[in-house]
Amino acid sequence: MMKDESFQKEKKSHWMSYELRGTHREKELQKQEFYTSPDPLIQKIKAGDFDRKTFLKFMGASVVMTSVGCVQKPAEKIVPYVNISSISNEGAPTEQYDFVKHGHSYHYASVCGGCSAGCGVLVKARDGRPLKLEGNPNHPISQGALCASGQASLFDLYDSDRAPEPMQIVQGKPKSSDWVVLDKDVREKIKSNAGKTVIVTKPLNSPTSKDLIAEFLKSIGGGKHLEVGFYGSESSIAKANEISFGKALVPNYHFDKARVILSIDCDFMGNFLSPVEFQRDFAKRRDLTQSNKAMNQFFAAETHPTMTGTSADQRIPLKPGDQRKFALVVARALSDLGVGGAQGVSGINLEAAIAELGISKDLVQKVAKSLADARGASLVVAGGASAETSDAIDLQIAVNMLNSMLGNDGKTIDPVNVRKEGKIDYSENLSQLSQDLKSQNVGVLFLYGVNVAYSDPLGEWGKLLHQAALVVTVSDRLDETAMVSNWLAPLSHSLEAWGDSEPVQGIVAIQQPTVRPLFATRSFEDSLISWAGGELAGSKNFYEILKSKYSKKTNWEDLLRKGVLGQANKSDKGGRSFRGNVAPLASTPSNLTVSLYASTALGDGERANNSQLQELPDPVSKVTWDNYVAISPQYSRSSGLKLNDVAKVTVGDKSLDLPVLVQPGLHPEAVGIALGYGRTAVGGIGNGVGQNAALLAQGKSPNSVYSGFSVKLESTGRKYKLATTQDHHMMSPGVLMGTAWKERPLIISAKLQDYSQNGKAGIPEPEIPKILINGKLERSKGANPPSDVPGSEFQYPGYKWGMAVDLTQCTGCGACVVACNIENNVPMVGRDEVRMGREMHWMRIDRYYIGDPEKPESLEIAHQPLMCQHCDNAPCETVCPVAATVHGSEGTNDMVYNRCVGTRYCSNNCPYKVRRFNWLEHWNEHDLLGGEHYTFKAQPPRNLGLNPEVTVRARGVMEKCNFCASRVAETKIKAKNEGRKIKDGEVLSACQETCPSGAIVFGNVNDPEAKVAKLLKDERSYKLLEYLNIGPAVSYLSRIRNNA
Amino acid sequence: MYLPKLEQFYKHKEMDEGVLGIFETPEAIMEAAEKTKEKGYVGFDCLLPFPVHGIDEAMGTPRSGLPWVTFFAGLFGCLIGILFQGLTHSYDWPLNIAGKALNAWYAYVPIIFELTVFSAGIYTVVALLFLAGLPSPSRRILHKDLTSHRFGLWIPKSAKGYVESDVVSFVKGLGGTEVTVVQPEKQK
Amino acid sequence: MSLAQAVREKLDIPDLVTGGKSLRDVTSDITKPNEDFPTSLWWKVFTLVLTITLVDVAIIGYLFYEGLYILGINNPVGWGFFVVNFVFWIGIGHAGTLISAVLYLFRQGWRTGINRAAEAMTIFAVLVAASNLILHVGRPWLGFWLFPYPNERGPLWVNFRSPLIWDTFAVSTYLSISLVFWYIGLIPDLASLRDRATETWRKNLYNVLSFGWVGSARAWSHLEIVSMVLAALSTPLVLSVHTIVSFDFAVSILPGWHTTIFPPYFVAGAIFSGFAMVVTLMVIAREVFNLKDYITPKHLDNMNKIMMVTGLIVGLAYSTEFFIAWYSGNEYEGFAFVNRAFGPYGWAYFIMISCNVLSPQVFWFRKLRYSIPVMFVASLVVNVGMWFERFVIMMTLHRDFLPSSWAMYTPTLFDYAMLIGTFGIFFTLFLLWCRIMPVIAIAEVKTVMPAKEGAHH
């Protein structure tokens, strides 16, 4: 600031007021900023009435209005998430956001729209754009985790193939229209066909929506509401419960309470009811670092190697159709062990039945014994498409019997806080609908979230639907059903609309929108309201209905803040007794039988246009971008069908041409085919990917039997190259020309009892070369030697980031992969490039088979998540000519994209091959030859979903996992502003945050209290390829299996 | 001890005025060179289509000093190699590359060697061009066969005791088949 | 008499120039191809290779535009045909230097017939190799970043620990040294061309190219010394260059690459393939340019002997690798080599063995050593074999430590096109050079003419 005297001496000085020149007042003014401005606002600021904070408040508020607020007027306020822990005395949170800062990201509690499980999520939004989904830690279902499809559901929001506006379909040709016309048409038709309105919806877990639909039907003078779901087992379970216990319901399962678990063809961590919850509960008993070493024991009897099955202690390959026989055999074996309560099994000849099953007797007895030893703390489950055999209900009854024999009912099975209650019969509903349609008995038909034309390809819905006066498909895109209906009412994404969910009785969560609808879309509920005439239940929109409803129970804003209300806390009366009625065994077809299963990634195929899911490798086969017919090695030999042969799969009079995949671990007479493929009207990415296996489904129309019927395979002589990210290699690849080498110590497995005797069971001493240090031979310390060792220039005194991956807990579900992709803008490359071996996933999950493929019983399947190991002496760094990859001051191996020339030497020299090269300009349109990958460019609105924290890489540069450097930086800034160091668990890597089994732990290894530091010291921890002495920062905890 | 001497770095002298005698065989030119040296016409030269071995002794020109250039240039390159790599990695831009020591000198050896060879070779050639007075495309050609199969003896006007008639007869006496007196080109 | 003559008489080596040529004949014979209008044969060959070159250039343009995804390389196999070609051509180049430098130091008179062409071959081969090195990077337009140049982003240098930087220095040094060595040798011959020239344009052209050389004895003695100095520099240089090329692999940690045998093994391989290429070119040149009197069977016989010896060295290296792989007892190392021989790319390995180890054995027999067709075929076979040797080494990438990341490498049409293109560029340059500069070192040949040369006039 100019000094007073100089101010006077300086002739040239610029001055503003003669009076004030050089006076005391002048100096006062100069002390304040803006002192030259005559602006009244500034006057206010000077007066202190209006400080900068207030100003920012106004600004922030306006940001809320403009960017984060929702579409309907008046603006509906949404409230950022605040962790309960920071809320004192349940209710008024200590910290609140009154405004949103531009350029900062905030989390909003909402509900995941990925599937019907209704996980509570936190949506990370920045400047009004949802960028990432995480599990809501306060939500009892998701418990802070999220599955692969949940993570990927963000991509559906930014899907360029969504319907941007209402469309009228005239003779199969869609033409753009708008809501006014649609609403008018619907209202008229409703009036003209009063009482004959039918609303078909997917299984809803939103109580308010159900009430609203009832309300709607009432207001328009009656109609039907039918729920329809596909590939699930809810119907069978409900019916079986009705028969067994007299009350139709779908109970809740508590895997965390179960010490012994027997799943009969139930992919409960992949595709059954509530995968995230079940996986999280299951993994709780696999955490060997906890003091209680009560590790659970898991038997997976399955007709097809599922992701769930891979984490079993003992896999039992079944022939499709034998599921129930197996259940009864186990029941029989139990009763032989003196466990009472068995019915209808006395007639079973154990030996004969076991022989028919094609499994060893002692295996069955092992299962029975373990179950019997854990009465009341065991759990038997069956379900999923592949369990939907012709006797699916009897299978569920058998399961109920087993559970009540073991006294699990009311302990590991919760029949009180149920998932669903009352009569649930989806296929019955569907056939009723077709009956009504045939008999011209349907006025206006609303189809919400049910793609009948695709999911039930044999139902001839194309013809049927025209029997209705008006068919309105409520869907986010012009899908197969919409094409054969009259109207498409475009649906908002769950991140664009209000809603609530109650997946389990008592657990209510609010689905909070975080962005205006990108297109002219509406939520189903809002559509209903306007079709009812603009007002329903005294409210003009669904938001008001929800708000008024929940304001009665609690503080609305706190509810939004926390996202979840209440717990499943109805105490269990347990008054259920098994009534029996176990049907006698039917014989399964002697020849090859098939099981159709819902794949882990695509499920029922609703989100087939999601490149994240299409390119997520199958947990077991590692195949992307196609479904295939999986056959056993034995059958492959006898039939001569090999990998990539195209086989004609014939069931009755229907047949499909599918590429063959030889899948170790299958029952010799089993065949598996994934459902959810072969979409024809889903969008540029998903159209024509694979074949729709539902065509092969059996049972009375509509088809309800997906497993256990005989199938015929014959070669077509054609070839089709499946895009796999991994070939099928055994753990010891050295067996080649009869030359066997030592098995590679990559995945280290041990039996539980060995482990309990020796914590380091199975972990070999790494052969690190000794070097001469201070005159004596020592194991060379590597990059970070103690200061007395020469060449100790590089210490990491501050943070040193490290990671630990527990192979005992990892289930290989792939949630981490998708989370990583979305967090780091990892491009999807498409089938052609995957075939070339050019997938860009920064993180992959290595799958290894252990054991003899000829004995599927003994075959184990192991997973190993692999990301950049951030070696202290990274081989990649030495060889980079331009120093584009160097070591950071926090022990990370940093990649400098701008400097990279693209020699790919680093990738060649990486023993883990975790580096990824940008073969293409993945994010821009430019391609002379065309080719498949063009679909994955960031065409609008996909580009809105890119994470602004992470650079989008150009063609010709190398990239790789960076330990979520962006997250670390964000947290460091936060900590710095608060003048402290980062607390342990404050910064989570994307893979860690989403992992449903908590297998991945990331943190600062310099902090002895940090979880990761403790894990690195754990006895089980070992480094991959340690003998190379490159000092990886990632440790693996050996894979313990509880198979005594 | 063998030290570089100045006369080893003799330069090619331009031939604008003097006497040129043509000889037919290497043997003839060798003999002629011997004689001319004895006669004492300092600064005379021979024009040869190929390096006739032994002509240097005959003419009494010392061994070329260019290897000295090679030696010192090589030394220079070596030094550059050591300093450049060492300084950039240890001081100017110290980076943690694979945890290797900053001054990992053994990794610098290949480039040190290459730089040595490079500077030695290139400087030597530069020196050669300088001493041989190349390139000078404007240089005049005395006789077109001298680069093919005939040999020339050149006695410049500057030579000690140069008397044109004597020189001509002297060269003739040596057995020069064609003897011509070369006059300086007049500037056009 | 010249030292060369003395040596020749002592060892009773047959004359290196036959047909009783005079000095004048030598000049006119050798410069004839440069002065006549090209023969139709030359035109045919030239149009062929030029077409290949142009196609290649077009593909390079497309490569720049589209990126490397048009090639067959993928995640485990990051280096494919381009690096194979690079090593292959560098190896070819080495023979030239050896012939001109090493044989010069050993006063091998017979080299004079071939050294000039061999040096030219070196330069063109190194150019082709370097181009492959630049093109195979992801962002070729930033290739200059591999040189440590002063910049305002500073401090920003290169990583001198990386073998690729060693490569950069080695190759550029090698190129420049070979270039000057080759050119100072050319200067006197260009001068002869200049003095023979009748048309003015030709005179001016060669006047410029020959730097105005007049053949003063003083200049000659300097030039002689410098040639010797450069020969002495090139000999270790050529060894160092291929040693460093082998470091690209030996310095990595990959099983099958990380072996100390690579430097000698690569150098031997380089000499091997280089001499094979020289034989191929010489056999063609002496036919096409009718230089049978200057490139006699004696020359070729000598080179065949060298081919056989180096072939045996290479064979020894192959077997040593296997022994050590087994002896190390390291599962990864051992598997890498079993996989090399019996894995999916075993066929390439056996092509390599049969071409490089078996085929040169024919040269045990003098008759075959002197038979032009036999040596021509054998040299071609060896070239193929040496290319496959580099391919086999590159394919070590396809199965390394983690079985999960194993994959196959299938070259695309573009890879093959680029491979053919390298030959196109090479021969285009070579043929053009044959037109404008003498393929044989005129002055040097004259020094090794039989006694009493040029006496009769």
A731 band by pLDDT with thresholds 50, 70 and 90: very low
Chain A: give the shortest CA distance to residue B95, in Å. 7
Read off the tokens for A7: 């101010």
B97 has a chain A CB within 8 A of its CB: yes
* Closest CA relative to residue A600, chosen from A759, A815, A744, A840: A815
Which of A737, A741, A905 has its CB closest to that of C331?
A741
Contact A257, A414 (CB under 8 A): no
A745-749 mean pLDDT: 85
Q: Would you state the pLDDT for residue A94? A: 41
Give chain A positions within 8 Å (CB) of C153: none
Residue of C nearest to A836 (CA): C74
CA B112 to chain centre: 28
Determine, for residues B99 and A784 on separate chains, whether the beta-carbon distance falls below 8 Å. Answer: yes
Q: Which residue has the tokens 């053919």?
A: C420
> Among residues of chain A, what percentage have pLDDT more than 70?
85
Give chain B positions within 8 Å (CB) of C208: 135, 137
Q: Please tell me which chains touch A, using 3 or more CB pairs under 8 Å as the contact test.
A: B, C
pLDDT at A381 over 80: yes
Report the relative pairing of strands A1034-1037 and A801-806 from DSSP bridges: parallel
The helix (H) or strand (E) run that includes residue C163 is helix C163-196
Q: Would you state the pLDDT for residue B187? A: 54
Q: Would you state the pLDDT for residue A3? A: 44
Determine, for residues A878 and B102 on separate chains, whether the beta-carbon distance falls below 8 Å. Answer: no
* Closest CA relative to residue A236, chosen from A272, A270, A260: A272
A933 band by pLDDT with thresholds 50, 70 and 90: very low
* Closest CA relative to residue A661, chosen from A692, A623, A707, A619: A623
pLDDT at A1037 over 50: yes
CA A858 to chain centre: 29
Q: Would you state the pLDDT for residue C202? A: 86
Between CA A462 and CA A457 the distance in angstroms is: 10
Q: Would you state the pLDDT for residue C197? A: 82
Q: How many CA atoms lie within 13 A of C274 on its CB side?
A: 34
The helix (H) or strand (E) run that includes residue A562 is helix A556-562
Read off the tokens for A524: 């189903």
Q: Would you state the pLDDT for residue C240? A: 92
pLDDT at A788 over 50: no
B75 has a chain C CB within 8 A of its CB: no
The helix (H) or strand (E) run that includes residue C432 is helix C413-436
Q: Would you state the pLDDT for residue C15? A: 59
Higher pLDDT, A765 or A446: A446
Give chain C positions within 8 Å (CB) of A736: 335, 338-339, 342-343
Between CA A390 and CA A74 the distance in angstroms is: 53
Q: Would you state the pLDDT for residue C2? A: 53
B138 has a chain A CB within 8 A of its CB: no
* Closest CA relative to residue A829, chosen from A840, A814, A845: A840
Give chain C positions within 8 Å (CB) of A839: 75
C129 band by pLDDT with thresholds 50, 70 and 90: very high
Chain C: give the shortest CA distance to residue A977, in Å. 30
pLDDT at C10 over 60: no
Which of B25, B93, B144 has its CB closest to that of C156?
B93
Q: Please tell me which chains touch C, using 3 or more CB pairs under 8 Å as the contact test.
A: A, B
Amino acid at residue number A988? L
Distances (CA, A) of B75 to B79, B113, B121, C196: 6, 10, 12, 43
Q: Would you state the pLDDT for residue A818? A: 93
pLDDT at A46 over 60: no
Report the relative pairing of strands A470-475 and A487-490 from DSSP bridges: parallel
Amino acid at residue number A479? D
pLDDT at A783 over 60: no
pLDDT at A1026 over 90: no
A769 has a chain C CB within 8 A of its CB: no
Between CA A533 and CA A950 the distance in angstroms is: 47
Task: List pLDDT tens digits, range A521-579.
Answer: 888 988 888 888 888 878 888 888 888 888 888 888 888 888 888 776 776 655 677 77
Higher pLDDT, B179 or C12: B179
DSSP per residue, A835-877: HTT----SSEEEEEEES-TT-TTT-EEEEEEE-----TT-HHH
**Chain C neighbours among B 145-174 (CB < 8 Å)?**
145-149, 152, 154
A684-706 mean pLDDT: 82
Does ipTM exceed 0.95?
no
Provide the 3-class DSSP secondary structure of residue C404: helix
C148 has a chain A CB within 8 A of its CB: no
Provide the 3-class DSSP secondary structure of residue A1038: coil
Task: List pLDDT tens digits, range A803-862.
Answer: 999 999 999 999 999 999 999 988 888 888 888 888 889 999 988 888 777 888 888 888
A309-318, B41-50, C82-91, C123-132: lowest mean pLDDT where? B41-50
pLDDT at C245 over 70: yes
Give chain C positions within 8 Å (CB) of B145: 195
A61-75, A346-360, A444-458, A948-962: lowest mean pLDDT where? A61-75
pLDDT at C17 over 90: no
A883 has a chain B CB within 8 A of its CB: yes
A224-240 mean pLDDT: 87
pLDDT at A925 over 80: no
Q: Would you state the pLDDT for residue A574? A: 57
Q: C407 Cβ partners below 8 Å, 6+ apart?
A: A727, A837, C74, C75, C76, C77, C398
Please give the DSSP secondary-structure letter assigned to residue A297: E
DSSP per residue, A926-977: --SS--GGGGGS--TTGGGGS-TTSPPPPTT-EE---SSHHHHHHHHHHHHH
Task: List pLDDT tens digits, range A85-128.
Answer: 443 334 444 444 556 677 778 888 889 888 888 888 989 888 88
A174-188, B139-153, C74-88: lowest mean pLDDT where? B139-153
DSSP per residue, B38-92: HHT-TT-EEE-SS--TTHHHHHTPPPP-HHHHHHHHHHHHHHHHHHHHHHIIIII
Q: Would you state the pLDDT for residue A343? A: 79
A876 has a chain C CB within 8 A of its CB: no
Q: Would you state the pLDDT for residue A1? A: 40
Give chain C positions within 8 Å (CB) of B144: 195-196
Higher pLDDT, C69 or C54: C54
Provide the 3-class DSSP secondary structure of residue A801: strand
Q: Would you state the pLDDT for residue A64? A: 65
Q: Would you state the pLDDT for residue A84? A: 42
Between CA C116 and CA C111 the distance in angstroms is: 9
Q: Would you state the pLDDT for residue A572? A: 61
B127 band by pLDDT with thresholds 50, 70 and 90: very high
**φ, ψ of residue A438 in degrees (nearest 5):** -60, -40
b/e string for B17-55 if b means 16 or more Cβ within 10 A? ebbbbbbbbbebbbebbbbbbebebeebbbbbbbbbbeb
Q: Would you state the pLDDT for residue C7? A: 52
B94-121 mean pLDDT: 89
Determine, for residues A878 and B97 on separate chains, whether the beta-carbon distance falls below 8 Å. Answer: yes
DSSP per residue, A412-460: TEESSS-SEES---HHHHHHHHHHHHHTT--SEEEEES--HHHHSGGG-
Distances (CA, A) of A191 to A222, A518, C146: 11, 32, 77
Q: Would you state the pLDDT for residue A562? A: 82
> Among residues of chain C, what percentage have pLDDT more than 90?
26
B126-155 mean pLDDT: 85
Mean of per-residue pLDDT scores for chain A? 82
A618-627, B118-127, C442-451: lowest mean pLDDT where? C442-451
Q: Would you state the pLDDT for residue B84? A: 92
CA A897 to chain centre: 30
Q: Would you state the pLDDT for residue C18? A: 63
Q: Would you state the pLDDT for residue A24? A: 56
Determine, for residues A928 and C73 on separate chains, whether the beta-carbon distance falls below 8 Å. Answer: no
A674 band by pLDDT with thresholds 50, 70 and 90: very high
For every residue of C180-206, which 3-state class applies, written as one string?
A: HHHHHHHHHHHHHHHHHCCCHHHHHHH
Determine, for residues C214 and B146 on separate chains, whether the beta-carbon distance falls below 8 Å. Answer: yes
A9 band by pLDDT with thresholds 50, 70 and 90: very low
Determine, for residues B50 and C194 on separate chains, whether the beta-carbon distance falls below 8 Å. Answer: no
Q: Would you state the pLDDT for residue C36? A: 76
A404-425 mean pLDDT: 85
Residue of A nearest to B100 (CA): A783
C68 has a chain A CB within 8 A of its CB: yes
Q: Would you state the pLDDT for residue A71? A: 45
Task: List pLDDT tens digits, range B57-76.
Answer: 888 888 888 899 999 999 99
- E strands present in C80-147: none
Give chain B positions within 8 Å (CB) of C224: 51, 64
Please give the DSSP secondary-structure letter assigned to residue A11: T
Q: Would you state the pLDDT for residue A20? A: 47
Q: C151's torsion region: left (phi>0), alpha (psi -120 to 50) or beta?
A: beta
Give chain B positions within 8 Å (CB) of C24: 148-149
* Closest CA relative to residue A207, chosen from A679, A525, A657: A525
B25-54 mean pLDDT: 84
Distances (CA, A) of C189 to A402, B24, C207, C440: 101, 19, 11, 9
Which of A838, A902, A920 has its CB closest to that of C74?
A838
Task: List pLDDT tens digits, range A289-312.
Answer: 875 567 889 999 999 999 999 999
Contact A427, A235 (CB under 8 A): yes
Which of A790, A793, A887 has its CB closest to that of B98?
A887
Amino acid at residue number C250? A
Contact C146, C165 (CB under 8 A): yes
Q: A394 Cβ partners below 8 Å, 6+ apart?
A: A240, A324, A582, A583
Give chain A positions within 8 Å (CB) of B96: 783, 793-794, 886-889
DSSP per residue, B87-150: HIIIIIS---STT--TT-GGGGHHHHHHHHHHHHHHHHHHHHHHHTT---TTPPPS-GGGGTT-
